[in-house]
Amino acid sequence: MNTPLGYALLRDRRVSLRPKLVALGTGVAAVALIELLQIPLESVFAFLVPVAGAAGDVALDGAEAVIGPVVIATILMPHLAPAEIVQQLRAERGGA
């Protein structure tokens, strides 16, 4: 799991849009599934601590919705990007 390489691939203009969209779409779907599984737990917490529960829910869900798909996409990009570009970036980064 080489997240700096995945992030570099996500930003690289040589990588076509399709693998980037597949990686980000998979990330969005994974985060959405996690959010669906958390709904019962979040409702209990919001009921027990109404103000803090709602504020924390908005702050954490907002961060998860943005950061989660990007993190998952960076993990997937070395597997989805063309092998030549992955090898070039690895060589540029000193074999990382």
pLDDT in tens, 65-85: 888 899 999 999 999 999 999
Between CA 42 and CA 40 the distance in angstroms is: 6
Give, in degrees to the nearest 5, the angle at Cα 67 between 62 and 68. 100
pLDDT tens for 18-66 read 999 999 999 999 988 888 877 676 667 667 766 666 666 666 667 778 8
Percentages helix, strand, coil for the chain (3-state, rounded to 5) are 85, 0, 15
3-22 b/e (C-beta count within 10 Å ≥ 16 → b): eebbbbbbeeeebeeebbee
* Domain residue limits, the chain: 19-87
Higher pLDDT, 95 or 34: 34
Tokens of residue 50, six digits: 């109404």
pTM assigned to the model: 0.75
